Chains A and B, each alone.
Chain A
Amino acid sequence: MAKAKMLTGCRASAEGAKAAEVEVICSFPIRPYTAIMMELAKMVANGELNAEFIHGEGEHAQLSVVLGACAAGARAFTGSSGVGVTYAMEIYSPMAGGRYPAQMAIADRTLDPPGDFGSEHTDAMCTRDNGWLLGWACSPQEVYDNTLIAYRVGEDHRVMLPQMVCQDGYFISHIPDKVVLGEQSQVKEFLPPYRPISPLSLTHPVSHGPQIRPDQGAPMDAQRAQTFLAVPKVIEEATADFGRIFGRNYDPFVEQYKLADAEIAFFIMGAHANTARAAVDRLRKQGVKVGMARLRWVRPWPTHQLAAALGHVKAIGVVETSTSYGGAMRGGNLIHELRASLYDLDDRPLVTSFMGGLGGETIWPADFDHMAKVLTQAVKEKKVRNYVQWLGM
């Protein structure tokens, strides 16, 4: 077994791209994800990675370049943070609709209110309805692993969709942690070469990205939705294969931490899950029956898996690290989808949400104590007092 190295999330992401032998990379600077491109630029310059490294003139260009590269049959890689992610907004839907399985690494950053470097999931969450596969890692190791898993799922011919591999800015992207890199033989066994379906070709010319008529729009949408019905099985297969080959096993959709006998639970994704786990351990020592469910994929959303994992819990606190101003619960977006996932259960849990980790703030262990108190109270009163509460406000 290879030795663990201390790597940041950005370096782990670059190592993942290198292991996947990406052929085209397109960069544009914005912190904190920039360090991924700095690492990749070094790898290309040092001859460790044989890839075309293109400087985009903005994020819109970055996405357009990888779309073209993918159309030409190359495994393509790009990334961004914060307002960079939203600047490229136009390209997300055409890229998924045209079935270009490129990958985008996101190191989360707050959208400008104005100008904040801190981490917040709102940037990539904005793109969630554009047909990409979207998931969060909670450690540099998982960033590396998800990079490979996402390529494998996205390039599967049952899927053929672009992927966003997200990590919290700074908390994951800039804090080194132990990472075991895969052997090239393991990567080769796990990730077959990218096989495009109808690439641009001089000998078999094709048209990509045509104008379609309104009556062709609905079937096109239906076919994209149909693909998403097939994705969960591919994710399950890929995650199981990953565990077999690399020896690191993940629950494909939801990490379940001490949930089996839990009465209350935190529902969370990304970096702050690490604090949540420690908080669960500490609260359990005090006799609180608490657990944690950590979401690994936002798209496709694991409706049934969440109902199975959380259905028996009495009260759930959704830790939102993104905003949905004016949304149904006036907090973030995860609570909407979690509540919808649990709605059909006969004895559904109480669900409330906590706005935390916004603008790059830390969610402290004491915050989890507070959340546990609110949840315990909800169980006692058999109702939640509010849909949302802002931590520290």
Chain B
Amino acid sequence: MAKELPGYGTIDVPKDRVVPFGAVTPAPVCVQNMFQTSNWRIVRPVKDDEKCTRCLICYLSCPDACWVYKEEEDVMEWVNNFCKGCQICIQECPSGALTAAPELDFPDGVVRLDKPF
């Protein structure tokens, strides 16, 4: 009788860690909360509403759609969970309304998080 060889074991991924099959998810209407991508940001853009002319160039230039114009309040809103801190908006802003601030300056800065969101 031949000796029984080791098997491959089983793999049990904890339920709360299972990733959707092929990482395919239903397309979000507005934001995709399952895969947030701002946890490698080291700086974030901070806006000065006095200088901002609502020209929407930040909205046009952001590669991750992280600037949204809030019509009711007439202000630009920044999307925290998807901004990777690339600073394109800061470079492109024609009125100097945006500045780069280190994440360490914020109590909710991503560098302070134990877990990424």
Cβ contacts under 8 Å, A208 to chain B: 22-24
- How far does the alpha carbon of A345 sit from the alpha carbon of B21 in the complex, in Å? 37
Q: How large is the interface on A (under 10, 10 to 19, 20 to 34, 35 or more residues)?
A: 35 or more
Contact (Cβ within 8 A) B24 A219: no
Q: Which residues of A contact B14 (CB under 8 A)?
A: 219
The minimal Cβ–Cβ distance linking B19 to chain A, given in whole angstroms, is: 5
Q: Is A225 an interface residue (CB 8 A)?
A: yes
Query: A311 at the A/B interface (Cβ < 8 Å)?
Result: yes
**Contact pick for B19, options A160, A197, A219, CB 8 Å:** A219
Which single member of A99, A204, A215 contacts B21 (CB below 8 Å)? A99
Give bound CA distance, A229 to B37, whole Å.
Answer: 31
- Which A residues touch B11, using CB under 8 A? 222-223, 225-226, 229
Q: Shortest Cβ distance from A337 into chain B, in angstroms? A: 14
Q: Nearest chain-A residue to B18 (Cβ)? A: A219
Residues of B close to A99: CB separation below 8 A:
21-22, 24
- Chain B, range 27-64, C-beta contacts under 8 Å to A: 27-28, 32, 34-37, 39
Out of B6, B13, B23, which one reaches A344, CB within 8 Å?
A: B6
Cβ of B90 to closest chain A Cβ, rounded Å? 22
Whether A205 touches B8, Cβ cut-off 8 Å, given contacts A214-B116, A215-B115, is: no
Contact of B39 among A213, A303, A304, A344 (CB under 8 A): A213
B25 within 8 A of A: yes
Beta-carbon contact of A215 and B32 below 8 Å = no
On whether the beta carbons of B13 and A222 are closer than 8 Å, the reply is yes
Query: Roughly how many angstroms separate A222 CA and B9 CA in the complex, as a whole number?
Result: 12
Are the CB atoms of B25 and A207 closer together than 8 Å?
Answer: yes
Contact B35 A198, beta carbon cutoff 8 Å: no
CB-defined interface of A195-224 with B at 8 Å, one 1/0 digit per residue?
Answer: 001100000111111111111101110110
Q: Which residues of A contact B22 (CB under 8 A)?
A: 97-100, 160, 197-198, 208
Interface residue ranges of A85-124 to B (CB < 8 Å): 97-100
Residue of A nearest to B10 (CB): A229
Q: How far is the CA of A158 from the CA of B22 in the complex (A)?
A: 13
Interface size class of B (residues with CB under 8 A): 20 to 34
Complex: A98 Cα to B20 Cα, angstroms: 10
For A97, list chain B residues within 8 Å (CB): 22-23
Instruction: Contact check, B32 vs A213: say whether CB atoms are below 8 A apart.
Output: no
> What chain A residues lie within 8 Å of B23 (beta carbons)?
97-98, 208-210, 212, 216, 220
Could you say which residues of chain B place their CB within 8 Å of the CB of A198? Answer: 21-22, 24
Contact for B32 among A100, A207, A219, A346, CB less than 8 A: A207
Binary interface profile of A, 322-337, with partner B (CB < 8 Å = 1, else 0)?
0000000000000000
Complex interface: chain B residues within 8 A of A197 (CB): 21-22, 24
Contact between A345 and B5, CB atoms less than 8 A apart? yes
Counting CB contacts under 8 A, is B70 at the interface?
Answer: no
A344–B7 alpha-carbon span in the complex (Å): 11
Indicate if A307 sits at the interface (CB-CB under 8 A): yes
A223 in contact with B6 (CB, 8 Å)? no
Q: Which residues of A contact B21 (CB under 8 A)?
A: 99, 160, 197-198, 223
Which A residues lie within 8 Å of B24 (CB)? 98-99, 197-198, 206-208
| Among candidates B2, B6, B39, residue contacting A311 with C-beta atoms closer than 8 Å | B2
Q: Which residues of A contact B28 (CB under 8 A)?
A: 207
Chain A, Cβ-Cβ closest to B2:
A311
Rounded to whole angstroms, the CA-CA distance of A344 and B5 in the bound complex is 6
Contacts A223-B13, A346-B3 hold; do A206 and B26 have CB atoms under 8 A apart? yes
Q: Please list the residues of chain B having a beta carbon within 8 angstroms of any beta carbon in chain A.
A: 2-3, 5-6, 8, 10-11, 13-14, 17-19, 21-28, 32, 34-37, 39, 115-116
A-B contact pairs, 11 of them (CB 8 A): A98-B22, A160-B22, A197-B22, A207-B32, A208-B23, A208-B24, A213-B35, A220-B19, A225-B11, A307-B5, A345-B5
Residues of chain A whose beta carbon lies under 8 Å from any beta carbon of chain B: 97-100, 160, 197-198, 204-216, 218-220, 222-223, 225-226, 229, 303-304, 307-308, 311, 344-346
Top 8 nearest A-B pairs (CB, nearest first) are A205-B27, A99-B22, A210-B35, A219-B17, A198-B24, A226-B11, A220-B19, A211-B37
